[in-house]
Amino acid sequence: MPRAHCSSPLVGWEGYTVKRGERIDPAEAGQRARVEIVLVRTKATFRCSGCGQETTEIHEMTIRCIRDLPLFDADTYVWFPRYRVACATCGPKIEELSWLSPWARVTRRLAESIVRLCRVLPIQHVAEYYGLDWDTIKSLDVAALAERLLPVDLSTVDVIALDEFALRKGHRYATVIVEPARKRVLWVGPGPRPGGHPPVL
C-alpha cells in the first residue's frame, strides 16, 4: 500500500500558523522518516470547549506534540502551545479547536483517515501503517463506531429476538439482540458463559 502523500499539514490550523518545519531522514534501515512542524499562535481569543464562549483569559499553557497525516512519505509530528482557558462560566477548560479533539494525540483529519482504513483493514495493519500504538487505533475505531451506531432508538420496538454465538472456536461467547420485523441489530455484547443468563437490554 502506498504511503499517503499530503501537503494539507501545512494548512488548516485554525488559530495557528506554521513557524517552521523540518524533515528528519532515518539514521538506520528500518526506521521511519519524520517531519516535525512547529506552530505559533495567531489568534488572540480562545473558545471554551465547555460552553463555547470566546475569552482572552488563559489559565495554563503547555507545549504539546501530536501526530498528523503523513507528509512527503514521512510521519508528521506537530508541536504547538496548547491552552486551557479561564472561562467565566466553566472555570479552567481546554481550548476548543476545530482540528483537534480535547486531549487527543492525533489531529481530526488523521483520526478520520484511520477510521476509514479500519473499515477495510485489521487494526494491527492500520497501526503498523501509521506507526501508532494498537490501543490508539482501537480507541479511535470504537469511538467512531459508537458515534455512528449509538444510541439505538427503541421507541418503536415491540418484539425482540436473542441469539448467542461462539467466538474463537467456542472458548468465548457473545450475545446479539435483534428486531426481527426490521432485521435490525439492536445490541451485541460479550457473554453469557455457557449456562449463564443473557444481558438485560
Q: Please state the rounded mean pLDDT for residues 29-57.
A: 93
C-alpha cell at 163: 441469539
pLDDT digits (tens, 9 = 90+) for 94-121: 999 999 998 899 999 999 999 999 999 9
pLDDT digits (tens, 9 = 90+) for 61-70: 999 999 999 9
Q: Is 90 exposed, middle or buried (0-12, 13-18, 19+ CB in 10 A)?
A: middle
Query: What band does 84 get if pLDDT is binned at 50, 70 and 90?
Result: very high
Please tell me the least confidently modeled range out of 36-45, 88-97, 140-149: 140-149
pLDDT digits (tens, 9 = 90+) for 165-190: 776 665 677 888 888 888 887 877 77
pLDDT digits (tens, 9 = 90+) for 117-135: 999 999 999 999 999 999 9
DSSP string, the chain: -PPP---GGGS--TTEEEEEEEEE--SSTTPPPEEEEEEEE--S-EEBTTT--EE--EEEEEEEEEEEEEETTEEEEEEEEEEEEEETTTEEEEBPBTTB-TT-SB-HHHHHHHHHHHTTS-HHHHHHHHT--HHHHHHHHHHHHHHHH-S---TT----EEEEEEETTTTEEEEEEEETTTTEEEEEEE-PPTT--PPP-
